Amino acid sequence: MAKAKQHRAMLIGAIGAGKSTLTNALLGRDVPAIKTQSLLYYDWIVDTPGEYTENPLFYKNIMATALEVTHVLFVQDATKSKTIFPPGFASGIPKLSIGVVTKIDAPNADRVRAAKQIRKAMPDGPIVYVSAYEKQGLDEIRSLVACNSRLQMREYCLNLESTNISDM
Which pLDDT band, with edges at 50, 70 and 90, does 3 fall under?
very low
CA distances for 132 relative to 68, 76, 103, angstroms: 25, 13, 7
φ, ψ of residue 61 to 5 degrees: the values are -65, -40
> Are 53 and 13 within 8 A, CB to CB?
yes
In this model, does residue 50 exceed pLDDT 60?
yes
For residue 91, how many other CB atoms are within 10 A of its CB? 12
What is the per-residue pLDDT for 35?
Answer: 74
What is the per-residue pLDDT for 5?
Answer: 61
CA 34, 84, 78, 13 torsion-angle sign: negative
In this model, does residue 104 exceed pLDDT 50?
yes
Tell me which of 3.40.50.300, 2.60.210.10, 3.90.1330.10, 3.40.50.720 is the CATH number of domain 9-166: 3.40.50.300
58-88: pLDDT as tens digits: 888 899 899 899 999 999 999 999 999 999 9
Distance CA 38, CA 41 (A): 10
| Sheet strands (E) in the chain | 9-13, 40-42, 45-47, 71-77, 96-102, 127-129, 165-166
Average of per-residue pLDDT across 93-117: 96
What is the per-residue pLDDT for 168?
Answer: 60
Distance CA 88, CA 40 (A): 26
Structural domain boundaries in the chain: 9-166
What per-residue string of b and e applies to 47-57 under the rule 16 or more CB within 10 Å gives b?
Answer: bbbbebbeeee
